[in-house]
Structure 1
Amino acid sequence: MFIARKRTPQRHIRENEVVMTMQQRSRLDLSRRSVLIAGVAALANTLPPPIRAEAMGGWSWKLFTYDREIWQRNYWNGREEFDFRFGGGGCMASMRYCPDTYRPLLSPTNRGEETDRVIQGVLWGLNVAGSGPRRERRWNVNQAGDGSGRFSHTVAVERPDTSTTDIWTIADRQWNQAMNAVFAGSDAVPQLTRYTRLNNGTLEIRRC
């Protein structure tokens, strides 16, 4: 049983709002948001009419934009359940539990960056190392971006059908910036992250 609580209006998402334009909020946002601008505009043109989720039984989903970000939300018998926000490099930057005043479910960031403590793919080359402290000298590429908070490059955001969102990205930054010069000759990592909103309320994530 859940106890009803007063929700903070500033945190409540206006589900039917579609933002047609974006503005860069910081220099760190440039690589991801310069492409997500087009992605949000495309989604705005292809999204179906707003769904009256409260009139539907069982699990249902909604894909929408809010505050210049792309979100997914699932419902159980019309009640908001979980929110998922896309982040840098196609990662899942936020996950929230709606009935409990939109309580965050992921760990807080270490230094305010959105490239760590998110749902993402991480690649390590433990047999490839440069110079420096042992734990920092390995080949280490994160899907979201590097340790300074710079995002990986988002190439395209596509919606092949109503239940699927594809995000194409290229990760070419070492987590430790000092290793960029050491591994300058290594190949970048192209990646497709496919999010599928299943009928049982599950969010399926596939990377290739």
Structure 2
Amino acid sequence: MIRLRKWILGVLVVITVTPIIALLTWYVAFFLPHLNELKAQAKYGQEIVRPVKEALYPLAIAAEGEKGIRIGAIRDAYWSVLSRNNVPAVRRHINEWLWMLVSYIHFDEREIFGIWANCALLGCDKGLPEAARKYYGKAITEMSQRELAGLVALIKSPTAFAPGSKRSEKRIEVILEEIKPHNSSLNRDPQQQVAASRRLLWAC
């Protein structure tokens, strides 16, 4: 009976420890080597949209949500970093999921927004500023709020929400409608405006 208990205890220890060791091995082998590159992408992304961050960030939140921005940022960054490798589909999906989990350890909302802005639509190191020139023919700093909303709408599907299309216009209206309560509350309450500005500074 004692031997059976020891055997069961040993099996439980192996079952518990093995996944932990596997995750740590994956973390060291497949994520940490790319951390500095991801940090650089985050920093660069924050810089390239800094002139329009106050207008762009609320639109991004309205369109994608914080979780959607994180998912999109990590997915695009993963493809950028590992597109040079022929990764099997199953392993790719597992890696994306694990990257998503560990992103909460290494990246705050501000950095995630930077990666998202840097990598969305056209790939990392091009991102939204290049997309603005491609789809709207102008610098992102020259775009109106409505055009920025259209740029954000493109991220869901550049084909379905192409600028000037009916679906794009409808999507833009939805995004702008989403940020109206936010803007109205800030106009009524100066203290909320200060608090929101601080949150925006942290997030961008």
**TM-score normalised to structure 1 length:** 0.26
Higher relative contact order (CA 8 A, sep 6+): 2
More strand by percentage: 1
TM-score by length of 2: 0.26
Report which of the two has the higher share of helix: 2
